[in-house]
Amino acid sequence: MNETTALTVLPRPFLKWAGGKTQLLQQYQPLFPPQFKNYYEPFLGGGAVFFYLFQEHSSGFKAVLSDVNEELINMYRCVQTDVEALIKELESHHRKHNPEYYYKIRAKKNRKPVKKAARIIYLNKTCFNGLYRENSKGEFNVPIGRYKNPTICNAELLRADSQALQWVKLEVRDFDKVLEEAKTDQDFVYFDPPYYPLSNTSQFTSYSRYNFKEEDQFRLRDVFAELASRGVKVMLSNSDCPFIRELYQEFPIHEVSAARSINSKGTHRGKISEVVVTSY
């Protein structure tokens, strides 16, 4: 991952993703382990933490990035291996963008990986609130947003991210598969699962047709504890609530403060406490 050419733009997330961690990176910085050789991010989403660590660790590390959402991983693979074709597709979407075109693309099923990837980025940049949401059939179902002039194709950023992803392994898989790979104290795993809801309506956990349930939070705690017992460095973000604090009571729990939507319509933002659990 060291052989990058000079970049004019630094790598960072190119998608708007619910639960994105960009605003928390400064608070996370002292909590990251100072050194590691292998990095695993099993709930990749927008990838804010990966792109940040990539910049910070000039000596490099190997990374395995995964998510259960196949559309998302297909898109990262296209950024990794076919970024110029992807940019062309996005420029074409940009030229044609209007409400009728949006709904036409939203209804479309593409087979070619680059077309699929461009469709998701286009919808993410133009849909209401930039929210990725699927119905029970796995269809993207968000209405068009009210942007005057959305940036559909940030070519320089896509190229910078493509370089950052060059040596990365990208996988569609459940988070527990990390147990097959992370085994030593040279491994660092960062878990950013869908958060445990603070109330029935307050939180957005439906990123895809695979909902994250309470039993998954228990399963994740067991994976965290197993990795910790192997000496793997593990870090996890979640909501600050009695359920999560009890689940991870044997580990150090740190508090961070995040600006989040505090009502169900997302129109009011306020500071809310979140936790970061570490195994070290």
Ligand X SMILES: C[S@@+](CC[C@H](N)C(=O)[O-])C[C@H]1O[C@@H](n2cnc3c(N)ncnc32)[C@H](O)[C@@H]1O
CB of 15 to ligand X, least distance (A): 8
Q: Which residue number places its CB atom closest to ligand X? A: 45
Between β-strands 38-41 and 62-67, what pairing exists: parallel, antiparallel or unpaired?
A: parallel
What is the residue whose two structure tokens read 């878990």?
191
Rounded CA separation 202/261 (Å): 9
Which of these, 125, 118, 126, lies nearest to 89 by C-alpha position?
Answer: 118
CB of 98 to ligand X, least distance (A): 29
Question: Of 46 and 130, which has the nearer Cβ to ligand X?
Answer: 46
Helices (H), 82-206: 83-96, 99-107, 113-126, 155-164
Residues that bind ligand X (CB under 6 A): 17, 19-21, 42-43, 45-46, 48-49, 67-69, 174-175, 192, 194, 207-208, 210, 212
Q: Which is nearer to ligand X, 118 or 258 (by Cβ)? A: 258
Report, in Å, the least distance between residue 152 CB and ligand X. Answer: 19
Dihedral sign (CA 134, 97, 116, 151): negative
For the chain, give the number of residues.
280
Closest distance to ligand X from the beta carbon of 259 (Å): 14
User: Other CB atoms closer than 10 Å to residue 26's CB: what's the count?
Assistant: 10
Of residues 66 and 163, the one with the C-beta less far from ligand X: 66
Least separation in angstroms between CB 35 and ligand X: 21
Q: Which residues pair with 275 in a beta bridge?
A: 238, 255
Closer by beta carbon to ligand X, 91 or else 176: 176
Instruction: Please report how the helices 155-164 and 83-96 are oriented relative to each other, as an axis angle in degrees rounded to 10.
Output: 150
End-to-end CA distance of the chain: 26
The minimum distance between CB 72 and ligand X, in angstroms, equals 6
Instruction: Give the Cα separation of 46 and 48 in Å (integer).
Output: 6
